[in-house]
Amino acid sequence: MLSWQPIVAAIFGASVFIAVFAALVNRMPGTLVHLPEFLLFRLLRAYFSLETLLTVNVVPRRRSFALASSPVNPLRNARNQDAPVRGLYAGGSLQGQ
């Protein structure tokens, strides 16, 4: 059974408590009249954020993470595995010459 408390906490969160606390600390209790509009704004923002998050198209990559982290040098192709790779060493000299 799904309870409603986690949903309310996720939508409104601590920002409602902080808004009430800030209004009372600043001695402006009249601003608490606008709390329902603030709650409606938070609800609408949570709805749009969730809708955006759930409609993002995530395309899986062709290469798996296992292949990406393999020790094979990506500069060498499959036909020429034994050929030296040309490039600069840390010392500035060219490799493979």
**Can you give the residue range of the structural domain that contains 32?**
5-55
Interacting residues of 39 by C-beta distance below 8 A, sequence separation 6+: 12, 16
Which range has the top average pLDDT, 34-38, 49-53, 57-61, 85-89?
34-38
Higher pLDDT, 13 or 95: 13
Please indicate, yes or no, if residue 15 is contained in any of the structural domains.
yes
Interacting residues of 10 by C-beta distance below 8 A, sequence separation 6+: 46
Structurally, the chain folds into a number of domains equal to: 1
Can you tell me whether residue 94 is helix, strand or coil?
A: strand
Residue recorded with tokens 């490799």: 95
Higher pLDDT, 49 or 68: 49
**pLDDT (tens digit, 9 = 90+) per residue, 4-49?**
888 888 778 888 889 999 999 999 999 999 999 999 998 898 889 8
Please indicate, yes or no, if residue 95 is contained in any of the structural domains.
no
Q: What is the pLDDT of residue 56?
A: 81
Please indicate, yes or no, if residue 50 is contained in any of the structural domains.
yes
